[in-house]
Structure 1
Amino acid sequence: MTQSPSATQRPTDATPTTPPVLLGEPWAVGRADGTPFSKDPSVVRLGERYLMYFTLPPEQPGAREGWHVGIAESHDLRSWELVGHLRPAGGHESRGLAAPGAVVLDGVVHLFYQSYGNGPLDAICHAWSTDGTSFTRDASNPVFRPTGAWNCGRAIDADVIVDGDRLLLAYATRDPQMRVQLLGVAEAPLDSDFGAGSWRDLSTDGPALAPELPWELECIEAPAFVRRGDRLVMFYAGGYNNEPQQIGYALSDDGVHWTRGSLDPVLPNGAPGSWNSSESGHPGVFTDLDGRTYLFFQGNDTGGRTNHLAATEILWENDRPRLGGQRDA
């Protein structure tokens, strides 16, 4: 999760597409003043329950510290109920935590999340749970920071996927000037404990993906993995929050080198007057037991004063996602 270095709205040349069909109504948790605000969704299935992990702001509007992870439960992917929180535990988390990425391995939920509010010192942390709501933190936290001269050493917005005998992790970082948001990739052995000594940065020589297209502006962030056949697909957010942020995707044969699948957003922000006119951002991808895949994302129409979470099913054509009309790269 990140905020733009500039609050200025910037234009985009993305071609509007037909809005996707949503699963249920956009959903959010209300703050103390009733303002709906939830961000950064990641969804898994644990037994017969669907669990969504997402970012919640400080409970009191205007507070700078206290960002944390909310936990919601569903039995149909359409209606959600808040069932728990993962709150800051001090130390590197003392100012907050955010942007969870979850995976279930042998019945255990492994949650990778970022510390929040520490600028270039923010890093990826790890915790696990057998019931999906009560988590044990990794004693070696934070478990990952990037290396290489191309970035500032910060890591946020983690997402993970099992790739053979390894757990592949994608992360967002910034350039040394803290201006441009970029993506990198790391790996850990699948039989490791995913602690601080387990990870190997695979993007030491440069970013896996950097903003290049006009609608991406100066930000590529919030990676979200899914496998289609022999290839990995990574959805990502382009543009800082509400510039507007929109969602694209990239393809890879090895999980390290990525090429864009489309010149336009696969999910742009909505038309004026729609619930997501300010942005469609921070994707999370979930694959159910029947093989159907769903794209979760955040959106709002208030320039970021509120935020809702929503989902739509991903339709595939030759293992490329189709949520509307866009030009293949």
Structure 2
Amino acid sequence: MKTSSLILILLHLTFSLSQSSSSPSADQLPFNISESTVENDPNYTAPVFPLLPFTKYANNPILTPNPQANFESAYLYNPTAIVLNSTIFLLYRAQNSSKTSSIGLAWSTDGTNFTRLGKPIIQATEPYETIGGTEDPRIVRVNGTFYVTYTAFDNVTARLCLASSTDLLDWTKHGPLFPDFTDVAYSDIDVAVPRLNHSKSGAIVKEPTASDGLYHMYFGDSFFYHATSPDMLNWTAMPAEEYFAGPVNPWENRLIEPGPAPIKTRDGKWLLVYNGMTTGRVGYPRNQYSVGQMLIDPSGSFRPKLNVTDQQAYQPALRDGPVARLERPILVPEAGNEQQGQVDQVVFAEGLVQFKGKWYLYFGQGDSDLGVAIADVQP
């Protein structure tokens, strides 16, 4: 480990020690979870695209590393979220001092003050997870079963994986979903870089579409690729060259990456919060990660084959797979721990729930801490 990296971790541990007393830990869940446990807020109202505005919570970060717990002693960030029995559960990425990742669990009855389980619920057990660990969970629940996509990283190759559970504690791993997939990333000088066997960041639409009866997933950390499944376990990816969406706006012109699982809107489409990185050429800091929103329709998940030379047929708003996307980000790095952290200039969202009349958007700050932004439920 480089001396500079060690100093950064030590400084962060010192800060975390002063913060950790505000989030207690427990050795068991607040109640038993089963297939019959009620999901979602009792007064849940479907959203309208877009969800705006989000305001960052004044007392962020709401969770920081705990130096007394080895698995989360260095960094804690990138949470996914779900509501059960009027309680928000966060599954978050934790890192120890060796930067090996695992997935921890915390819960709250007010959205901002959390109790942690105190031990990881998903951690490295397979050869393709060693060294790097298990990263960046995204959760959905289908027919009483929780499905979490996560990235397995062996410090060489990132592989998108899936695990399932009925109680959030005991998980069955289903291995890499796309072991032979090769994506194409672009450097900040627009050089194409193929990444063999690389996949990550899967956001699942939790209802099958009426048009094909299949579940749909959007994944990737360069473009949005597309996969389908008849049963949530066996997934088929479309060819990489038939990607669903790519970077369009200046704030995301380096790459785009899914955030939380899409949420169904009032008109039957799906709202997808996502993350993007910029090359920094158009007024944004170089390599800044920000958060945006797009509207998708899984029943039409293939990019239109439009003739770009035919000006009457060419419609920029329909050129991409998404129905629509915001031109500007909804969250950008502003706080000190977002502008400077394990990775500088980062806000990265993976958790979105409606709770007690508000939307809570949970995100990583500088790949170091965990914050939340809040928006009103639309009338």
User: What TM-score do you get using the length of structure 2 for normalisation?
Assistant: 0.63
Letter of the 1:110 counterpart: Y
1:46 aligned partner: 84
> Residues 204 and 280 from structure 1, CA distance in 2 versus in 1: closer, same or farther, beyond 3 angstroms?
closer
* Structure 2 CA distance for aligned equivalents of residues 117 and 222 of structure 1: 22
Which one of the candidate residues 293, 297, 300 is aligned to 2:363? 297
Are the counterparts in 2 of residues 220 and 236 from structure 1 also a CA contact under 8 Å?
yes
Q: Which residue of 1 aligns with 2:145?
A: 108
Quick check: which has more Rg, 1 or 2? 2
Residue 182 of structure 1 deviates from its aligned partner by: 2.0
Uncovered stretches (5+) of structure 2, i.e. residues with no partner: 1-51, 185-193, 279-284, 302-320
Q: What's the counterpart of residue 186 of structure 1?
A: 227
- Kept in 1, the 8 Å contact 2:358–2:377? The answer is no
Equivalent of 1:161 in 205, 208, 212: 205
Alpha-carbon distance between aligned partners in 2 of 1:149 and 1:100, rounded to the nearest angstrom: 20
The match for 1:71 is 105
The 1:46–1:106 alpha-carbon spacing in structure 2 relative to 1, beyond 3 Å, is farther
- The two structures have a TM-score, normalised by structure 1, of 0.72
Q: Distance in 2 between matches of 1:291 and 1:201?
A: 37
Q: Tell me what 2:43 maps to.
A: none
Partner AA of 1:155 in structure 2? S
Which whole-Å CA distance do the structure 1 matches of 2:53 and 2:147 have between them? 35
SS of the residue 2:141 aligns to: strand
In structure 2, the CA distance between the partners of 1:242 and 1:275, relative to structure 1 (3 Å rule), is: farther
| Deviation of 1:99 (Å) | 0.9
Residue number in structure 2 paired with 1:201 = 237
Q: Distance in 2 between the 1:18 and 1:289 partners?
A: 16
**What does residue 370 of structure 2 align with?**
309
1:246 Cα deviation (Å)? 0.6
Task: Please tell me the residue identity of whatever aligns with 2:363.
Answer: F
More helix by share: 2
- Counterparts of residues 31-42 of structure 1 (less than 5 Å): 31=67, 37-42=75-80
Q: 1:244 aligns with which of 264, 281, 288?
A: 288
Q: Percent identity?
A: 16
1:284 equivalent in structure 2: 350
Is the 2:81–2:88 contact (alpha carbons within 8 Å) kept by the matching residues of 1? Answer: yes
Q: Residues of 1 paired with 2:114 and 2:219: CA distance?
A: 27
AA at the equivalent of 1:254: P
Shift of 1:127: 1.6
1:263 to 302, 313, 327: 327
90 and 18 in structure 1: CA distance in 2 versus 1, 3 angstrom threshold: closer
How far off its partner does 1:41 sit? Answer: 1.0
What is aligned with 1:30?
Answer: 66
Q: Deviations over 1:33-54 (max 9, x none)?
A: 9976212210012344422111
Return the offset for 1:297: 0.9
Work out whether 1:117 is the aligned partner of 2:154: yes
Structure having the higher strand fraction is: 1
Give the direction of change, closer, same or farther, for the CA distance of 1:54–1:222 in structure 2 (3 Å limit).
farther
Shift of 1:171: 1.2
Q: Decide whether aligned partners of structure 1 residues 23 and 169 sit closer, same or farther in structure 2, where only a CA change above 3 A counts.
A: farther
Q: 1:137 to 1:147 in 2, by over 3 A?
A: closer
Q: Any conservation in 2 of the 1:125–1:143 contact (CA below 8 Å)?
A: yes
**Deviation readout 1:69-118 (Å, 9 max, x if unpaired):** 11112222211122131210022112311011111223332221111135
- Report the RMSD for the aligned CA atoms in angstroms: 3.2
In 1: Cα distance, 2:180 partner to 2:370 partner: 29
**Is the alpha carbon distance of 1:71 and 1:242 closer, same or farther for their aligned partners in structure 2, counting shifts above 3 Å?**
farther
